[in-house]
């Protein structure tokens, strides 16, 4: 009598286990039923993300050349020119490749050596008031200067670079059209080879041995290089995506699912993006970035210390000779609102810049040191929201189901735009004679 009872209990337990597993699988992998329509509030949020609401480029008061098309054309030539590096092999485009949405498909940038940060894309970059993952630059023109002298990137130096550019008849002519007559930098006694305030001890020594007036002359032309590069980068505009096409139709038809640019899974992912997954908190506006700085508890890359992010970046920006308040800026001091009203707070500790998400599916890997290889890993990172190594993780665990994580990832593929085949800004110009 005992044996049949035992068998019966085992059968009950087995059936319960099977039903439990089946229920768990059903819960994890069966998509939720979508409502028939977006609400008016949701439609407002979706439209706030649309490219049609991008608006005009913000002014760059520190760069009087920012809107000059001649400066943009000159910047385009410099952007592709290998001679802007110390060894003649690295151009801006080495890391910011137009065929990869101006990224490089690497975890860490590779110039003359491997850097310590993942290369950020440049499409729509002129809409952001701060630059670099840690926000150590308060303008695009100032940002464009740093790689030129960074020993891990283009590894050039201020005197040699200015001498080379002003010694090139075409470049000299174009710069003089913008700036007026330029001095001559050929005298190696006044302008020593290899001198820069950011180099090794010998280079700094040579730089400091120059007269203050000569240092100013060199840095003034050097700053103009950044300004024409920034004028070029202002031309790199985002293009319409399937997401934008979808939103364009919502005013006429608020149905969630249409015969449209997005799949059902992508629409479900979009609903999560602006709702349960809270992505829109930081990835907002038509570029899917609030251009601000947040600590999201990222692990440091292997072999690297955790980055303290904006906490250090802001201090660097305030000391930068090429910031908005500096002598090479064209801005009136009161126009430098980003520097004047920047937040000094513990919240800056470990905070990195919110990257935009347009073309995100084609710009792996991700995060400030390329720590995460795929979008699935990124979604998992935010789903778990572990404690931060440095500072405080602003994100909270999302507790997404497996199907929701897949839907969110699916939606991110709807933010890919084909490059504009007509745009001359995406290709290297023929060198003017």
Partner 1 sequence: MMKPVFRLIALMSVTVFCVYVAEAQGFRLIGTSQPGGLSVSMESRMVPLAINQMHAWVIGLSDSSGRPLGNAEITVTGGMPVHNHGLPTEPMVTQSLGEGSYLLEGMRFHMHGLWELRIQIMLGTVQETVNFTLEL
Query: What residues make contact with partner 1 under the rule CB under 8 A?
Result: 45, 48, 58, 129, 280-282, 284-285, 290-292, 337-338, 340-345, 347, 394
> Shortest approach of partner 1 to residue 269 CB, angstroms?
19
Separation CA 298–CA 386 (nearest Å):
8
Q: Which is nearer to partner 1, 70 or 343 (CB)?
A: 343
> Shortest approach of partner 1 to residue 290 CB, angstroms?
4
> Shortest approach of partner 1 to residue 287 CB, angstroms?
9
In sequence order, the 6+-apart residues with CB closer than 8 A to the CB of 174 are: 70, 73, 74, 77, 432
Separation CA 34–CA 426 (nearest Å):
40
> Shortest approach of partner 1 to residue 60 CB, angstroms?
13
Q: Which is nearer to partner 1, 185 or 293 (CB)?
A: 293
> Shortest approach of partner 1 to residue 198 CB, angstroms?
29
Q: Which is nearer to partner 1, 60 or 104 (CB)?
A: 60
Residue with tokens 């909270």: 396
User: Quick one: tokens of 164?
Assistant: 């080379």
User: Quick one: tokens of 381?
Assistant: 């990172």
Contact status, residue 171 vs residue 181, Cβ threshold 8 Å: no
Letter string b/e over residues 179-194, b meaning 16 or more CB atoms within 10 A of that residue's CB = beebeebeeeebbbeb
Q: Which is nearer to partner 1, 26 or 341 (CB)?
A: 341
> Shortest approach of partner 1 to residue 126 CB, angstroms?
14
User: Quick one: tokens of 362?
Assistant: 């084609």
DSSP characters over 36-62: SB--HHHHHHHHHTSGGG--SPPP-TT
Q: Which is nearer to partner 1, 274 or 406 (CB)?
A: 274
> Residue 242 pairs with which residues in a beta bridge?
none
> CA dist 186 to 155, 171, 225, 340, Å?
21, 15, 18, 39
> Residue 351 pairs with which residues in a beta bridge?
309
Q: Which is nearer to partner 1, 220 or 316 (CB)?
A: 316
User: Quick one: tokens of 379?
Assistant: 């979604």
> Shortest approach of partner 1 to residue 38 CB, angstroms?
16
Q: Which is nearer to partner 1, 90 or 415 (CB)?
A: 415
């Amino acid at each position: 009598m005992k044996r049949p009872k035992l068998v019966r209990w085992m059968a009950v337990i087995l059936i319960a286990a099977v039903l439990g597993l089946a229920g768990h699988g059903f819960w994890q992998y069966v998509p939720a039923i979508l409502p028939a329509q977006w609400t008016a509030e949701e439609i407002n949020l979706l439209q706030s993300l649309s490219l049609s609401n991008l608006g005009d480029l913000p002014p760059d008061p520190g760069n009087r050349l920012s809107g000059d098309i001649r400066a943009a054309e000159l910047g385009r030539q410099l952007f592709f020119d290998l001679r802007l590096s110390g060894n003649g092999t690295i151009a801006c485009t080495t890391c910011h490749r137009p065929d990869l949405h101006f990224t490089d498909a690497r975890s860490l940038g590779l110039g003359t050596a491997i850097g310590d940060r993942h290369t950020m894309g440049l499409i729509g970059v002129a809409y952001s008031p701060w630059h670099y993952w840690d926000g150590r630059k308060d303008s695009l023109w100032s940002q464009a200067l740093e790689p030129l002298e960074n020993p891990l990137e283009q590894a050039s130096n201020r005197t040699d670079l200015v001498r080379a550019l002003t010694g090139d008849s075409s470049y000299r002519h174009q710069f003089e059209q913008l700036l007026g007559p330029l001095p001559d930098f050929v005298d190696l006694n006044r302008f020593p080879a290899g001198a820069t305030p950011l180099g090794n001890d010998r280079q700094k020594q040579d730089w400091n041995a120059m007269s203050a007036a000569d240092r100013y002359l060199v840095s003034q032309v050097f700053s103009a290089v950044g300004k024409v590069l920034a004028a070029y980068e202002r031309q790199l505009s985002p293009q319409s995506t399937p997401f934008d096409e979808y939103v364009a139709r919502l005013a006429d038809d608020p149905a969630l699912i249409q015969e449209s640019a997005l799949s059902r899974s992508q629409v479900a992912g979009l609903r999560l993006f602006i709702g349960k997954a809270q992505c829109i908190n930081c990835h907002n506006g038509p570029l899917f970035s609030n251009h601000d700085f947040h600590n999201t508890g990222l692990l440091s890359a292997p072999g690297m210390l955790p980055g303290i992010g904006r906490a250090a970046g802001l201090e660097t920006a305030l000391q930068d000779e090429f910031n908005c308040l500096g002598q090479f800026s064209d801005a009136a001091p009161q126009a430098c609102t980003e520097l004047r009203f920047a937040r000094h707070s513990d919240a800056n500790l470990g905070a990195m810049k919110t990257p935009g998400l347009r073309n995100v599916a084609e710009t792996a890997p991700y995060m400030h040191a390329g720590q995460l290889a795929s979008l699935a890993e990124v979604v998992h990172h935010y789903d778990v929201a572990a404690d931060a190594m440095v500072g405080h993780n602003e994100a909270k665990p999302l507790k997404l189901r497996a199907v929701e994580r897949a839907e969110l990832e699916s939606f991110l593929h709807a933010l890919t735009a084909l490059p504009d085949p007509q745009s001359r800004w995406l290709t290297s110009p023929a060198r003017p004679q």
